[in-house]
Amino acid sequence: MIRAAAVLAMFLLASPAHALVVRDMLGRDVSLAAPPARIVSLVPSVTETAFALGGEARLVGVSDFCDWPPAARAKPRVGGMINPSLEAIVALKPDLVVGTDEGNREETFLQLRRLGIPVYVVHARRVAEMYELITRVGELTGRTDAVAPLVGGIRRRIEAVRERVSGLPAPRVLYVLWPDPLLVPGRDSHLTEMIELAGGHSITAAEPVSYVRFSIEAAVARAPEVIVLADHSSGASTAGRAAPEKWQTLTSVPAIRAGRLYSVDLSILHRYGPRVPEGLEILARMIHPEAFK
């Protein structure tokens, strides 16, 4: 893990005008008048991390998708990740807006900067980058002392999963991000790493992008032994439900014949934050139930 002092050294730079310059995870310098006391988070994983570190008091607003922990739902909402309400953000008078390069639009960041609101962009596609994200959120929320205990606990739980599945054969896994059109994780997706950590082999791991459109025929041809469907549904909405019945008819697929078709709440597995170990444990139990008896 990058030590907090080392991160702080490259993360906080003093400017001649006595402002604060913070460097985000894309390497962009962000000028602030002082350490941020009013932060709007457009990123569910950042919101979860701030709460886990005890820095939620600095969060004055969150996106509609920031639903964990339950206390996060009580924070003022500023809309979705793709099209947040600029008016709602401005009304909260934030010192800083935290966004992500996966889920937010660059146009949103440009509009906020034109309005004089600094934007800090996070990026995490690997476990190592998740640890850095936690460290940076600790810096932004003034909770650096809480970073090491949180990261230490996450590391221990991830290592415990690795030990359980170590040496076991890696079954072929198909992970379905979205049912129609069929979207799957590629080489640069964090889900591909999660599948590997859980003791499986993603049949779409060689695809050269983070997420790729796939055909049912191509998926069937690769004979997955485990199929995991991401469930995007919430409340009464039916959009993005896992729809396992569409897959159960594919009786030539090893996973279907063996009854190894699963669905998982996307909010647990798709966010790089404090619940990564929980998501990894769920995934590992699906891939290697024999290791968790």
| R_g (Cα) of the chain, nearest Å | 20
The answer to whether domain 167-292 has CATH 3.30.365.10 is no
Break the chain into its structural domains and give their ranges: 4-150, 167-292
Position 268 scores a pLDDT of 85
Position 243 scores a pLDDT of 65
Position 100 scores a pLDDT of 94
Position 18 scores a pLDDT of 46
CA 170/CA 192 separation, integer angstroms: 13
Position 103 scores a pLDDT of 83
Position 234 scores a pLDDT of 53
3-state SS track over the chain: CCCHHHHHHHHEEECCCCCEEEECCCCCEEEECCCCCCEEECCHHHHHHHHHHCCHHHEEEECCCCCCCHHHHHCCECECCCCECHHHHHHCCCCEEEEECCCCCHHHHHHHHHCCCCEEEECCCCHHHHHHHHHHHHHHCCCHHHHHHHHHHHHHHHHHHHHHHCCCCCCEEEEECECCCCEEECCCCHHHHHHHHCCCEECCCCCCCCEEECCHHHHHHCCCCEEEEEECCCCCCCCCCCCCHHHHCCCCCHHHHCCCEEEEEHHHHCCCCCCHHHHHHHHHHHHCHHHHC
pLDDT, tens digit only, all 293 positions of the chain: 444 444 444 444 444 444 789 999 999 999 999 999 999 999 999 999 999 999 999 999 999 999 999 999 999 999 998 899 999 999 999 999 999 988 899 999 999 999 999 999 999 888 989 999 999 999 999 999 999 999 999 999 999 999 999 999 999 999 998 888 888 999 888 899 999 999 999 999 998 888 888 888 998 999 999 999 988 765 333 444 556 777 888 888 999 999 999 988 888 888 888 999 999 999 999 999 999 87
Residues in contact with 128: Cβ distance below 8 Å, sequence separation at least 6, in sequence order? none
> CA torsion sign, 10 to 105 to 72 to 211?
negative
Phi, psi of 161 (to 5 degrees): -65, -45
Position 11 scores a pLDDT of 45
Query: What burial class does residue 156 get, using C-beta atoms within 10 Å of its C-beta: 0-12 exposed, 13-18 middle, 19+ buried?
Result: exposed
Residue owning tokens 């769920």: 282
Position 6 scores a pLDDT of 45
CA 218/CA 224 separation, integer angstroms: 11
Architecture of domain 4-150: 3-Layer(aba) Sandwich (3.40)
